[in-house]
Amino acid sequence: MDQQLCREACSAYVSQISVSKQRLRPVITELRTLHGASHQNIVKYHQAFFDNGAIIIVMEYCDGGSLLDVLRATAKTRPGQGMPEHFVAELARQVVAGLLHLHKGLRVVHRDIKPSNLLLNTRGNCKISDFGVSGQLTNSVANCQSWVGTVTYMSPERINGDEYSFDSDMWSLGLTLVECALGRYPYPPPGQNQPTQPLGFWELLEYIVHEPPPVLSSEDGFSPELCDFVAQCLVKDTKKRPKIEALSKHPFLQMHKDNSNGLTDLLNFAMGEDKEAVRAEAEAENAQAAKDKQ
């Protein structure tokens, strides 16, 4: 085993989540299911413990940070730029593969696909994290910052409080990929009449529910395949939104395979020349965010 593989095998990330006794049993049931979720695009859960009103989860460590870290770094090192399309295609391939295993193999709806829950490692893998348990844990006022971030990637039917199923994850994936391509959160959508002032939180939710979804255009340099893929993810009518099986066969996922060295090069692209400074700043932001949630 080489040094990098050995380090990954011995590394772990520990997360502590407060949970009431009433919620403990369903959370444990889901954790047992996730413990058996063996897939290269899903973060592995090693062990979980209950102590002093909190569940402590030991999971696989991803040394490349999250996709949110990459988006933030790109915004600083390459302002106004989205990711090159071959990175978007590779992200889509890996996330779709992970969701296919969740939906078909485990019958689990993630419920919270967003950039901060897509983790990267320096071996070029993207791994889905923080799934399943989010369906049982309620968000307290102390965790409102996390709740706001979650809601802004929710599908319209979830924001409305309607019934939802596996295809709600497709909406969140589509929104995430549009953000990667544009280099910014995609609401309000480009090319539409945008308000003169930034949207407030409740205005944003109403916009997501009642206004047309964001789109990518080939006139802006995006391939027709990418434009069609995200358009299918962002169909507002749940009866017409494709399932994961159909999306896994989409032509976009077959593109750019020869132009992508996994996602290893994405980390270098995002950080630019001063990698250490960008990484240190991202770690400081993450530490402050974790402190704010306590």
pLDDT tens digits, 34-57: 777 789 999 988 877 777 777 777
Whether 175 is covered by a domain: the verdict is yes
Whether 131 is covered by a domain: the verdict is yes
What pLDDT does 149 receive?
Answer: 52
Is residue 218 within 8 A of residue 226, CB to CB? The reply is no
Q: Is the dihedral of CA 15, 16, 22, 25 positive or negative?
A: positive
Whether 22 is covered by a domain: the verdict is no
What pLDDT does 280 receive?
Answer: 58
| Tokens 């809601």 found at | 151
What CATH number should be reported for the domain holding residue 195? Answer: 1.10.510.10
Is residue 92 within 8 A of residue 253, CB to CB? The reply is yes
- What is the span of the domain harbouring residue 187? 63-293
Whether 36 is covered by a domain: the verdict is no
pTM: 0.81
Instruction: Please list, in sequence order, all residues whose beta carbon lies within 8 angstroms of the beta carbon of residue 245, skipping any fewer than 6 positions away.
Output: 100, 104
Whether 2 is covered by a domain: the verdict is no
Whether 216 is covered by a domain: the verdict is yes
- Look at residue 225 and tell me whether its pLDDT is greater than 50: yes
- 55 has which bridge partners? 17, 50
- Number of domains into which the chain is organized: 1
Q: CB neighbours (10 Å) of residue 87? A: 23
Whether 87 is covered by a domain: the verdict is yes
Q: CB neighbours (10 Å) of residue 32? A: 11
Catalytic residue IDs: 112
pLDDT tens digits, 152-188: 899 999 898 888 889 999 999 999 999 999 999 998 8
Whether 145 is covered by a domain: the verdict is yes
Give the total residue count for the chain.
Answer: 294
